[in-house]
Structure 1
Amino acid sequence: MRTTWCYRMAGVVGGLMLAAGQFWGPACLLQAAALIPLLWLTLHHKHAGNAAMAGLYMGIFYTLPQMVYLRMPVTVTVVLLVWICLLLTGLCTATAFFLRKDGLCQALAVGAVWLVLDVLNVSVVPVWGLAQSFARSWTAYPAAIGFIEWTGICGVVFVLGATQALLVTAIRRPAQRRNAWAALAILMALILTADAAVWRRRPIGTIRLAASGWPFDDRDCHIDPHRPDGFETLFAAPARQAAAAGAELFTTGEMGFYIADHERAMWMQRFANIAQQTGMWLVVGYWNISADENRLFFMSPQGQIVHEYTKTYLTPYEPGKKGTGDLKTIQIRGYNIGAMICQDDNFTSLTRRYGCLKADIVLCPTADWHTIRIAHLQAVRARAIEGRYGIVRGAVNGISAAISPTGQFLAYHDHHCRGPGWFVADVPIHKGITPFARTGFGPTLAVAVVLLLSGIKNAIKTSLPCEPIAPPLPPS
């Protein structure tokens, strides 16, 4: 009975440690020890049933606090609760299976199975896509995860799982101690080498961009961008000030304006006047009432619309028609500028494609509610590193931000806390297509599968019985 309760507590503590960083990014460091209580028990008891129970508790205490805080719809909460509990139950059960035998492959297989499960997490039931990754909050330390330009964000969980398993093996298995420490040192050296390559890369130039955003709630109901005074306060005046500060492009949040076909000409003329006055490119998010579509448009400094894009990935219960994922880039001073909308930044079919299109900057007009705004911003920082492009987002009811290709904040304005506002940021340009943009999770999954097969082989291997030794013949 005492052992059972130890496993339950290991699940509870592990789930809370995994979840802590999702609320406050720097607490992601707790994930580096979240599996240790379970691993410690598993190496001692080797009981798969208790490990599975610990995984169930881990899933509950990882998922429910987040769903309650984020105020998810009931159906989304239930679906994600069941799904995450299945994943973490599978992780803990697999951990018990692999660690019942000694060997470095067994410890590395713990990281491999977590990686595979995290890829399934973000792709099989992709309510929020890549934002569902267990490693999302590690963007609080972008310098530590530069290697995700090779592996994608899911590579972080391989490192977390493998390092904890190797550490516990080194402590609990004296016969494996030297090899476990050596493997841990090699893994850390590989990570640091990949990170250092990102730190040492120098930009080839910069481009100055501006973003504006505002809240749509009762606190600022007197400021309506559809009224002349609201348009001047929220859009026109910030655009002129940004141009005076040297900005070459000005962008806003998702659905910042609601425009029907019968008034489209009037609105486009308003925007064209600002573009011509300021000499800037405009990228504006709006809701096309007549087409029932969530769109953005690129407008040149001459006041001409050169591209429109419709949001491809809709959030649960979001109204409107989906777009086709038609991605394009425009050039400003020879730099490639692309755009997508809000939830689109959680899906590799779009984010990787911009990497392959050699985008230097990706604009991402966004609309959030106040409890989701931190989680969404955590997720999007990883896309910058994976694709090696800067990201600039204006926001409605969220956080406007500029993010460098290495995941660093260049500018930040929380509209929920500070109300309407804008910023100008110099975004560095880093050329080149990352391995992750080219190949996605494929190579990383291939390595994980090799480790899993090795771990499975070692776990099920049984020693062959020894041949009996014949007694010596008596002397004749």
Structure 2
Amino acid sequence: MSPALRLLLGLGLAALSGGLLVLAYPPYNLWPLAWVALLPMLLAQFWLMPARLSSLASATTMGLWGLGYFGPVFGGSGLYMEWLPLAIFLIALLGDMGVRAFHERTGYRYFVWQGVSNWVGIEMIRGFVPIAATWGFIAYTQHTQPWLIQPVSVFSIYGMSALIVLVNFVLGQGLLGLLHKEAPLSPLRVRRWLWAGGLALLGWVALSLWLYRPEAGTLRVAAIQPPTSPILAQNRGETALAEATLARMKEQTLEAARQGARLIVWPEGAFTFDPQTEDRLGLVALARESRAYLVVGYVVVVGERIFRNEATVISPEGQFLGVYGKDHPVLFAGETSPTRGTYPVYHTSIGRLATLICYDLDFTDTARKMARRGAQVVAVPSQDWATIADKHYTHLVFRAVENRLSMVKADGGFDSAILDPWGRVRSLASFPQGGEATLVADVPLGRANAPAVRLGDWLGWLGLLGLVGFAVADPMSRRKGK
């Protein structure tokens, strides 16, 4: 086969992997594809394509995945994030240069180890980046399968990612052993890895089924989703629409209370004043009338393009229990808060209550800090946009399981959700086109007793350590070969 034909066929296989990855994520949710999506890419990179161009395989796969996953999210925004798929392509292209040569020098001894540690290590690095967080983690493809994801309460989300990539690389190594006769692959090592991968998968499933013991709901909660964001309407100069929307949200609150909700959550930034200093909407009276704990998100402008983004809790007696400032503010948007970093947990008659705000749920640390302080239920006011309505709430599935917490997300028009500590979605309103919803569901009080609450992202740190180790091992193996 000519090098040109090998290159074209390899790019085709790599593109197939990119397409399979995209289909595994929302809105398609073909979750089993994630377990085999990387196989065409691995065959292209380590067998079919010319060696010196082999990193084009992973670059093509990841670039197309970035285009299919992030493209709709930021398309038409005019932001530099529109160029994210190209950045992903270039990072993969440069990062994988020499990987095939490394494995050929070392007899593919570290093929699976390096594949898993590099993937998890890169996800760990992304988890530190404010504009990336956990978006697009391969584990999120499994959000519809609570029976399968329970071990993240021990291994965190990085454990789920590691297992998916492990299965891909073990199967990929087996296919290379069958097809790539020139590769220095030990048949014994291939068989051992197939056994190890199979046992790891079976062990994970067995542990998940053992941990999956959902309880009946004891607390009725509600999420109020308006048909459109009142604050965005106000920013557009549509004052009448904003006022009508807020009035309707008060009606929705009373409707939820009549259905027995004792915790009612409003969206992020529902209005532009501090209700503790000026109660323009009569929220104190609303909390008293509803006889529920009312969580409201609001913003307060403090300077040019700078505003406080906060949430407060009002008790059924009309008392303000405290203020939570967004832990992961969108800095380039001007978000701030003097209460950021305080992580209040309120001891109430319905249990220990905490709050997050929108972007906080994309990081693993904030919910964990609340769990360490004893939170049982977490309210999450959010303000999403149309193209993430099918993706953003899925992050809460893993935050709930990682910390064994019930969570209530109320969004300003697109995706509200109520989840229990096992990641089961008890009620959902996900409307890319926008729409009103009053979600009411029963959830148990969380226990915040998951091992991951104390252990943190320990598997992610191991992956990062492996990533650094293999980066050092590559030039060492080159010198040894010479």
**TM-score scaled by structure 1?**
0.85
Contact 1:91 / 1:117 at 8 angstroms: preserved in 2? no
Is residue 2:197 matched to residue 1:197?
no
8 Å CA contact 1:112–1:452 kept in 2: the answer is no
2 CA distance for matches of 1:89 and 1:147?
A: 33
CA deviation profile, 1:44-74 (whole Å, cap 9, x unmatched): 3696533211122123211123343123544
- Residue type of the alignment partner of 1:206: T
* Greater shift in the superposed pair: 180-189 or 410-419: 410-419
Picking from 25, 32, 37, the partner of 1:34 is: 37
Contact 1:170–1:176 at 8 Å: present in 2 too?
Answer: no
Q: How far did residue 425 of structure 1 move?
A: 0.9
Aligned 8 A contact 2:233 2:242 in 1 = no
Whether 2:75 is the aligned partner of 1:62: answer no
Secondary structure at the counterpart of residue 29 of structure 1: helix
Equivalent in 341, 346, 349 of residue 325 of structure 1: 341
Q: Aligned partner of 2:221: which letter?
A: L
User: In structure 2, what is the Cα distance between the partners aligned to 1:165 and 1:118?
Assistant: 17
Aligned equivalent of 2:322: 307
Contact 2:45–2:57 (CA<8 Å) still a contact in 1?
A: no
Cα distance change on mapping 1:91 and 1:7 into 2, 3 Å: farther
DSSP 3-state at the match of 1:157: helix
Q: Please list every run of 5 or more consecutive structure 2 residues that lacks an aligned counterpart in the other structure.
A: 178-186
Using the TM superposition, give the Cα deviation of residue 284 of structure 1 relative to its aligned residue in structure 2, in angstroms: 0.8
AA of the residue aligned to 1:191: W
Tell me the SS of whatever aligns to 2:318: coil
Tell me what 1:145 maps to: 149
Taking the aligned partners of 1:184 and 1:97, their CA distance within structure 2 comes to 24
Aligned to 2:118: 113
5 Å-filtered alignment, 1:86-235, equals 86-89=90-93, 92-93=96-97, 96-97=100-101, 99-100=103-104, 101-102=106-107, 105-123=110-128, 125-173=129-177, 174-199=187-212, 201-203=213-215, 206-216=218-228, 227=243, 230-235=245-250
Instruction: Decide which structure has the larger Cα Rg and report it.
Output: 1
Distance verdict in 2 for CA 1:285–1:50, change over 3 Å:
same
Q: Does 1:435 align with 2:451?
A: yes
**Length, aligned pairs only:** 459
Q: Post-superposition shift, 1:11?
A: 2.3
* Distance in 2 between residues matched to 1:162 and 1:63, nearest whole Å: 21
CA offsets, 1:159-197, max 9 Å, x none? 122212212333443444532331122111221133123
Question: Percent same amino acid among aligned pairs?
Answer: 19
Name the SS for the 2:402 alignment partner: helix
Aligned CA distance change for structure 1 residues 297 and 462 (closer, same or farther; 3 Å) = closer
For structure 1, list consecutive stretches of 5 or more residues without a partner in the other structure: 465-476
Please say if residues 128 and 343 of structure 1, whose CA atoms lie closer than 8 Å, have aligned partners that are also in contact. no
Deviates more, 1:314-323 or 1:389-398: 314-323
What's the CA shift for 1:353? 0.7
Give CA deviations for 1:6-51 in whole Å, capped at 9, x if unaligned: 2222322222222223342522332222221232245536965332
What is the alpha-carbon root mean square deviation over aligned residues?
3.4
Q: Is 1:271–2:310 an aligned residue pair?
A: no
- Taking the aligned partners of 2:468 and 2:192, their CA distance within structure 1 comes to 19
Deviations 1:222-243 (A, max 9, x none): 996753x6444222x2222222
CA distance in 2 between partners of 1:119 and 1:445 (Å): 7
* Contact 1:95 1:110 (C-alpha < 8 Å) held by counterparts: no
In the alignment, which residue of structure 2 is the partner of 1:469?
none
On the 8 A contact 2:228/2:435 being kept in 1, the answer is no
Equivalence for 2:361: 345
**AA aligned opposite 2:215:** P
SS at match of 1:215: coil
The CA deviation string for residues 406-464 of structure 1, in whole angstroms up to 9 with x for no partner, is 11110112355572221211112342432322232234533774698599879949999
The letter for the 2-side match of 1:241 is E
2:12 counterpart residue number: 9
What is the Cα deviation at residue 251 of structure 1? 1.1
1:321-364 CA distance string (max 9 Å, x none): 24522211112346211001111111233122122123211110
Residues 1:224 and 1:93: Cα distance change in structure 2 (over 3 Å): farther
- Name the counterpart of 1:53: 56
- Quick check: 1:142–1:406 contact (8 Å CA) kept in 2? yes
Letter in 1 for 2:399: R
SS in 2 for 1:153: helix
SS at match of 1:337: strand
